[in-house]
Amino acid sequence: MRALVLALAAALACAPSFAQDRILVRSEPGTPVVTVEVLLAAGPADEPEGEEGVAYLAARSVVAPILPLFDSLGARLRVEGRKDAVSMTLTAAPDAWDEATRILLVALFRDPLEASAVTRQRAALVAELTARETSPADALEREVDAAVWGRGHPWGRPAVGTAASVGRIQPAAVETFLRRAFSQERAVIAVVGPVERADVDARVLAFLEPGPLRGGEVPPPTRGDTAVHTEYNAITAWVAASYRFGADADVESIRMLGRLVLDQVGFGPSRRSVYDQGVEVVRHAGGGELRIHLVVPPREAEAWGTRMREALAGYAAAPVSEAAFTERARRFRGRRLLELDSPEARADALARGALVGERGDPLAAVQRVTAERLHAAARSLDTPVMVYLGPFEKERE
């Protein structure tokens, strides 16, 4: 059987196809599970007007009928909607991953859509979004998206739609979207675990059409002001800074820079009025964003926004000394390696790298940050978009 699998893989490899470029494998003999990350390059930019959220609804509807099969195999599946892709993360035991992967790919690219599954998933998603839309964290994300991309831009709205928009989507619209956007040439697949490349190719290549990755076209951003104040009924204020960067950016150095800024302005013995904090790097084809946010008292929001900008500007003004960098780099690398500790995280990093046109070992990238590269990364970032969310009118009374 093993010889047959290898022979089939060899035959597929000889065929003229770019499909193999959309399959990434990280062989890890000591990992106890296999994770398969499937990214479909479909999102808000592909959705017709009035059907915001149909990409995420389609993904959930497609996999809903096969979830009992995953349960029987001891596998689990997570579906997530993003701006540029729908993410499906499958994790299974080494002796079940191939069967679980086959079930997933057949459901995605071959099985007909069940209208009843759309109806059930639509009701569940509307309930989830109704609850989610009351969260200030979700409100902040919506406001930052709109400020960075423009309120009329597809990426300026929630990637999963809203409760109102999803509630209007009919099963026929989901089926039309699936036929048009969930195509095999839009798929990127990453596999992490105790597997070999030949085995993965033998099981996956048959589901991918020959040709390079094809994704939807994303209009240029239409952002306006670099500072946005939005009234929100809460007892705290949320302050966010979004720094845009281009396709040639040193992403890992920017990631470390965000962590260092947060260390400087986040909660601590002398900064007890910082109630919460967060930092993330958002990647997409052509660049991305460094997003940093704090939760603080409303009267202090402007001051904390200034401190965030000044902290990053300090790293742009002069390089960090080698001794200071060594200590901070050790802490950053530890945090980053913990973020990539799970096979799910490593598979996601591999797949997203391929989606945005970047390849390489995500664990190796952590080691390449230097004091000089950190300084250059800080200097490369321009004026951020600042978003302030909170009860500012009440505070000014």
**What domains lie within the chain, and their CATH numbers?**
2-207 (3.30.830.10), 227-396 (3.30.830.10)
Q: What are the tens digits of pLDDT across the range 126-171?
A: 999 999 999 999 999 999 999 999 988 999 999 999 999 999 999 9
13 confidence band (pLDDT: 50, 70, 90): very low
Rounded Cα–Cα distance for residues 277 and 238 (Å): 9
- Sequence-ordered list of residues with C-beta below 8 angstroms from that of 72, at least 6 positions apart, any chain: none
- Look at residue 3 and tell me whether its pLDDT is greater than 70: no
- 221 in Cβ contact with 148 (< 8 Å): yes
* C-alpha torsion angle, residues 347, 350, 351, 356 (rounded to 10): 150
Q: If residue 240 lies in a helix (H) or strand (E), which one and from where to where? A: strand 237-246
| The amino acid at 346 | R
- Of 42, 33, 13, 9, which Cα lies nearest the Cα of 100? 33
15 confidence band (pLDDT: 50, 70, 90): very low
- Look at residue 344 and tell me whether its pLDDT is greater than 80: yes
Coil, helix or strand for 198? helix
- Give the pLDDT score at 361: 85
User: In the 8-state DSSP scheme, what is residue 314?
Assistant: H
- Give the pLDDT score at 216: 61
Taking residues 87-106, report their average pLDDT. 97
* Residue 28 burial (10 A CB sphere; 0-12, 13-18, 19+): middle
Tokens 């800024």 belong to: 261
The pTM (predicted TM-score) of the whole model is 0.90
Report which of residues 377 and 215 the model is more confident about: 377
- Beta strands 187-193 and 23-27, pairing class: parallel
